[in-house]
Structure 1
Amino acid sequence: MAKKYTWSITLRPNAFTPDNDRDQLADVVPAGTKRDEDIADEIVAEGSEIKRETILNILSLRNKKVLGYALAGYNYSNDVEQMSPRVNGVFEDINAQFDPNIHKCVIDITAGAALRSELSNVAVKVTGTKEAGGAKIGAVANSVTGEKDGTIPIGDDVIIEGEKIKIQDEADEAQGVFFADSTGTEHRVSRKLTVNKPAQLIARVPADLAEGSVTLIVRTKYTGSATTLKSVRELRYAYELKAVKQ
């Protein structure tokens, strides 16, 4: 019997059908974030005699090989994923050359055959609604590279986009931009925000933040109206970030 899975979703109004205020779109609520370390721990827990360090080394070697395939322009496929190279942007004619100001190299990643097959065993549970324009962190960009690839530059600025993310009072230490490292220790941005707007924050990543996985947290009493929240509202970015030294 096939294993069953359940995804939790919240619903929000469909902005593309303004004439129908009943239409809703789904946002999947992430169950969490998994890494190679989790794979190794689970394999060991299942009774494997292979040491955790050996598993992690094999996974690291595999990741480096796949990275090399992608950068070399190969298609790569396994049961879980399919990767293929693509170039974005329009070439004016057959004599046009690649222009990094117009064109961009990207990798398309889609579900592999086994994953596509197993998706039929996923059930969906509606856990609530999300109003359009509600407070949320939508995207995070590395100010050094300009990319939204999940990396943030230690000691430099990060660009945070979203809705109702303005810090109401930067002097209030309970409010602000925080980065929680893999141990759960939070590092608050102490430098005055370069930009502090409802839809965008530009914050300096603390220099004492160690390289590795981090969680972005925004805490504020901002509401978008003349009134402020009585208690601080916490917003967590749904995706794990990686702090790096540029």
Structure 2
Amino acid sequence: MTLRYGLGLNHLTEAPNDYTAVVTDSTNINVTKIMERMIGKGSTVTKAEGLSVIEEFEYAVVEEVKNGNIVSTDLFRISPSISGVFEDENDSFDPSRHSINLNISPGPRLQEIISKIELKKVALSSAEPVIEKFVDLKTKVENESFTPGQIASIKGSLLKFNEEDNNQGVFFIAVDGTETRVTEFVKNKPSELMFFVPDGLTIGNFQLEVRNTPHKLKTIKKGRLSVELVPAN
């Protein structure tokens, strides 16, 4: 398999002929799929045993992060940070002004394979929604995290959708494939969507997808952000 990408007009710069890469056709792989790959290469671990170990591993990671620790593995590194402005040295954390963020970066094993990922350039459908940037409007963080219950923005092209059609809109997709559709919108324009992030998205990694039916077409088209998002706190 290869990482497939196309080029779309970059609406975030003033240059009229700038293009940006858009990753397309990537498959969402969950823990069950990972376990099936492990078993398929001859592992003596059963699927049930493997899933149990992964659950215990994830629990331990969550507990360490909850305790304010930095978690470093060969696959990833998770470190906490705090954003927001403090008025003076006597000021303290205030949830209305500050946010706890989790910074996630690839570990050495993933860093090693970045240069080995095969690329394939494909033509993007001109009618396909393109997500160029996601912004958490509370923390001002781009393409990293979101704050449940707060307003976020998606910028790009061909984003507008029919709010009365439940098959269209903005969807947060969890690693297990569970989809959560956004229901409260502030702006629904071709170049920008503004909405309230659903309250229940408090744990895990999520892919962000926009689905719509472009003008004169009858089939649903999808556009996906190229990076995964995590809850800010």
1:218 and 2:205 correspond: no
1:50 and 2:45 correspond: yes
- Measured in 2, the distance between the counterparts of 1:37 and 1:150 equals 26
- Measured in 2, the distance between the counterparts of 1:236 and 1:11 equals 13
Q: 1:128 Cα shift?
A: 2.5
- Measured in 1, the distance between the counterparts of 2:193 and 2:17 equals 29
Q: Residues 51 and 140 from structure 1, CA distance in 2 versus in 1: closer, same or farther, beyond 3 angstroms?
A: farther
1:102 and 2:97 correspond: yes
Match of 1:8 among 4, 10, 16: 4
Q: 1:214 Cα shift?
A: 11
Size of the alignment, in residue pairs?
210
What is the root-mean-square deviation of aligned Cα atoms in Å? 4.7
State the Cα deviation string for residues 53-82 of structure 1 (Å, max 9, x = none): 110000000001111111111111111111
Amino acid of the residue matched to residue 7 of structure 2? L
Quick check: 2:129–2:211 contact (8 Å CA) kept in 1? no
- 2:188 is matched with which residue? 197
Quick check: 1:166–1:196 contact (8 Å CA) kept in 2? no
Question: Aligned to 2:52, what secondary structure does the other structure show?
Answer: helix
Match of 1:135 among 129, 132, 135: 129
- 1:144 is matched with which residue? none
Larger radius of gyration: 1
- Measured in 1, the distance between the counterparts of 2:217 and 2:211 equals 16
Q: 1:129 Cα shift?
A: 4.8
Question: Aligned to 2:120, what secondary structure does the other structure show?
Answer: strand
Unaligned runs of 5+ in 2: 137-143, 199-205
Amino acid of the residue matched to residue 61 of structure 1? E
Q: Residues 30 and 92 from structure 1, CA distance in 2 versus in 1: closer, same or farther, beyond 3 angstroms?
A: farther
- The two structures have a TM-score, normalised by structure 2, of 0.65
Q: Residues 232 and 92 from structure 1, CA distance in 2 versus in 1: closer, same or farther, beyond 3 angstroms?
A: same
Amino acid of the residue matched to residue 43 of structure 1? M
State the Cα deviation string for residues 14-45 of structure 1 (Å, max 9, x = none): 345424x3432212225211111112111112
State the Cα deviation string for residues 114-144 of structure 1 (Å, max 9, x = none): 221222212322212577x963467699xxx
Q: RCO (CA 8 Å, sep 6+): is it higher in 1 or 2?
A: 2
Match of 2:14 among 15, 18, 35: 18
Q: Residues 152 and 72 from structure 1, CA distance in 2 versus in 1: closer, same or farther, beyond 3 angstroms?
A: closer
- The two structures have a TM-score, normalised by structure 1, of 0.62
- 1:225 is matched with which residue? none
Match of 1:120 among 109, 115, 118: 115
- Measured in 1, the distance between the counterparts of 2:210 and 2:12 equals 30
Quick check: 2:83–2:99 contact (8 Å CA) kept in 1? yes
- 2:59 is matched with which residue? 64
- 1:234 is matched with which residue? 221
- 1:208 is matched with which residue? none
Unaligned runs of 5+ in 1: 142-147, 206-212, 222-227, 242-246
Amino acid of the residue matched to residue 85 of structure 2? V
Q: Residues 30 and 99 from structure 1, CA distance in 2 versus in 1: closer, same or farther, beyond 3 angstroms?
A: farther
